[in-house]
Amino acid sequence: MIVAHPDDETLWSGGTILGHPEWQWFVVSLCRKRDKERAARFYQAMSKLSAAGAMGDLDDGPGQSPQNTQKVEQTVLGLLPTTSFDLIKFCCIMPRGLFQVFRVPPAGVIQISWVEEECRAMMDRGLLSVDLPPNFFPFIQPTDKDWHESYGIFNRPGYYHNGGIWPFICAIYIAALVAARKYRLAKRKLLVLTRLMGQSRIGNAAFGFNE
């Protein structure tokens, strides 16, 4: 399995890995080898998942330039234990889970209402500038016990992991709205997301999604 960052394998495919202990799992994380904290957590996760793994150190910072295709290919091949394998990326596993997730029960409809109410409240308080749900809320504040010093650089309240707008998360939310037959709301969110992605792609935005 090849993932961009350590922890992607657990977020997207942890259940599948644990559900098939008879498979010989090998996970490649393309980034963060020199990040001591993330690297340690990656190998702890491998132990919990009864999997083997290796890490690369490709640039995944917010100011990254497009990666050279040949360099990425060489990095992947250099990290793999063999050139004969079954390849699984999370994009292949994810749809299988979505079919189950998006049989929206009554509790799911209630949750949608809660998300919309919270987002409206954040917009009223000036904490949210677009009509899309953040990836995480309420935001972690510097006074909270979960705050880390590094958050002051990349994860300030409303930024990146700490309440940023992530297109793929919004897309999953829109798919849930469709499954719940909230078609008008889904259409509205999709149009907002499309406009936001367009601004990021043409390079005229102060913020953009870097993946």
Same domain, yes or no: 194 and 109: yes
Burial of residue 44 (CB within 10 Å: 0-12, 13-18, 19+) is: exposed
Same domain, yes or no: 115 and 194: yes
Name the domain count of the chain.
2
Q: Which of 208, 197, 200 is nearest to 159 (CA)?
A: 208
Residue that finishes a domain, picked among 41, 64, 94: 94
For residues 4 and 58, what is the distance between their CA atoms, to the nearest angstrom?
9
Same domain, yes or no: 8 and 44: yes
209 lies in some domain: no
Same domain, yes or no: 112 and 196: yes
109 lies in some domain: yes
Residue carrying structure tokens 């998360």: 169
Angle at which helices 36-49 and 8-19 cross, to 10°: 10
Same domain, yes or no: 122 and 180: yes
206 lies in some domain: no
Residue that finishes a domain, picked among 94, 112, 144: 94
Per-residue confidence at 70, pLDDT binned at 50, 70, 90? confident
Same domain, yes or no: 121 and 145: yes
Averaged pLDDT of the chain: 81
Torsion-angle region of 160 (φ positive above 0: left; ψ -120 to 50: alpha; else: beta): left
Domain region containing 56: 2-94
As separate numbers, helices (DSSP H) first and strands (DSSP E) second, the chain gives 8, 3
43 lies in some domain: yes
Q: Is the dihedral of CA 176, 180, 185, 187 positive or negative?
A: positive
Same domain, yes or no: 111 and 88: no
Strand order in the sheet with 26-29: 2-3, 26-29, 52-55
Residue that finishes a domain, picked among 34, 60, 94: 94
Same domain, yes or no: 80 and 117: no
pLDDT tens string 141-192: 999 988 988 888 888 999 888 888 888 889 888 988 888 889 999 999 999 9
What does the angle CA 138 – CA 167 – CA 3 come to, to the nearest 5 degrees?
Answer: 100
The answer, yes or no, to whether residue 43 has pLDDT greater than 60, is yes
36 lies in some domain: yes
Q: What is the mean pLDDT of residues 15-41?
A: 90
